[in-house]
Amino acid sequence: MAKKPNETTSARVATTASKLLRNPRTSPAVKTVAASALTQRVKPKGK
């Protein structure tokens, strides 16, 4: 059974990762790291 990660990404890092993923000149390796950072992002709870 896989453990649920307790690591989260800060809003600043998530914003930077999002910008990197949208940039067509970003290398695939950097996009992989950026995507990994975004998967750890805590989603805001709905009201």
State residue 7's pLDDT score. Answer: 74
The pLDDT value given to residue 10 = 86
**pLDDT values of the chain reduced to their tens digit, one per residue, 47 residues:** 555 667 778 889 999 999 999 999 999 999 999 999 888 866 666 65
pTM of structure: 0.69
Would you call 41 helix, strand, or coil by DSSP? strand
Quote the CA–CA distance of 35 and 37 in Å, as a whole number: 5
Give me the pLDDT at residue 40, please.
82
| pLDDT score recorded for residue 44 | 67
The dihedral region occupied by 29, where left means phi > 0, alpha psi between -120 and 50, and beta the remainder, is alpha
Cβ atoms within 10 Å of 34's Cβ, excluding its own? 20
Collapsing DSSP to helix, strand or coil, 8 comes out as coil
**Rounded distance between C-alpha atoms, residue 31 and residue 24, angstroms:** 10
